[in-house]
A and B are shown apart, each in its own frame.
Chain A
Amino acid sequence: KNQVEQSPQSLIILEGKNCTLQCNYTVSPFSNLRWYKQDTGRGPVSLTIMTFSENTKSNGRYTATLDADTKQSSLHITASQLSDSASYICVARSGSSASKIIFGSGTRLSIRP
């Protein structure tokens, strides 16, 4: 069964600290994995995308890693800011068909001043 699991479910850290969010996926065949940021009351916004041949991708203070062997991905946030407070959703895709897009339930990140 295709599924995506994320941990932790929620996380609170102090402003300026780093954090890492985890994603395990069981999608076959694997096409790509994307991390989204979803602010409260808004739609998701894409942060990074990686195919099986890529093991790291950065977007500013966000760095995503991918281990296609263990089917794990992580999103590392450096020097967190208050604006980083949001839900971060891991999405795995199987093939090019839109019906094969599998979303995780997200990690709710809160940054405290």
Chain B
Amino acid sequence: DTAVSQTPKYLVTQMGNDKSIKCEQNLGHDTMYWYKQDSKKFLKIMFSYNNKELIINETVPNRFSPKSPDKAHLNLHINSLELGDSAVYFCASSQDPPNGGQETQYFGPGTRLLVL
């Protein structure tokens, strides 16, 4: 079964709306991440989170917020959506504690967000 899953797979919405993307991992990992992949295919980390620490990329607008109801889930909430938020958003997870930065991240299939 899928190790890291995301819903929805596609999301089309109007500017100004608030939306959420859900992520679940069944690998028993302690750390989860959100990435944004833009039209030029660059992947940029937005957040990494475990039960001890939330690390936020300082370039991420505060309209984006991660919410973790439990260790297996990390949802991404986006307020007041803008055109520039259109992208593919990937969730990932890895085993904690980090192995000196060598832990392998397992990615979900992505959520394609289109803001009209």
Taking Cβ atoms with an 8 Å cutoff, the residues of A that contact B are 31-32, 41-46, 49, 51, 87, 89, 93, 95-101, 103-106
* A42-B109 Cα distance, complex, nearest whole Å: 5
Q: How far is the CB of A31 from chain B (nearest CB, A)?
A: 5
Flag if B104 contacts A46 (CB, 8 Å): yes
Which residue in chain A gives the minimum CB-CB distance to B44?
A: A103
Tell me the B residues contacting A by CB distance below 8 Å.
4, 31, 33, 40-45, 48, 55, 57, 90, 92, 98, 100-102, 104-105, 107-110
**Residues of A contacting B48 with CB < 8 Å?**
98-99
Contact A43–B102 (Cβ < 8 Å)? no
| CA–CA, A61 and B23, complex, Å | 32
B89 to A: closest C-beta gap in Å = 11
Q: Are B107 and A44 in contact (CB under 8 A)?
A: yes
Report Cα–Cα, A96/B48, bound state, in Å. Answer: 12
On chain B, the residues within 8 Å of A100 by CB distance are: 101
Q: Is the CB of B55 within 8 A of A97?
A: yes
Chain A residues closer than 8 Å to B57, beta-carbon distance = 99
Q: In the complex, what residue of chain A is closest to B107 when comparing beta carbons?
A: A43
Taking the nearest CB of chain B, how far is it from the CB of A3, in angstroms? 10
Q: List 20 A-B contacts (CB under 8 A).
A: A32-B102, A41-B109, A42-B109, A42-B110, A43-B4, A43-B108, A43-B110, A44-B43, A45-B107, A95-B101, A96-B100, A96-B101, A97-B55, A98-B98, A99-B48, A99-B55, A101-B45, A103-B42, A105-B41, A106-B41
Return chain A residues, CB-CB under 8 Å to B55: 97-99
Q: What separation, in Å, do the CA atoms of A42 and B104 have in the docked complex?
A: 17
Nearest A-chain residue to B110, judged by Cβ: A43
* A84–chain B nearest beta-carbon distance, Å: 18
Rounded to whole angstroms, the CA-CA distance of A42 and B48 in the bound complex is: 20
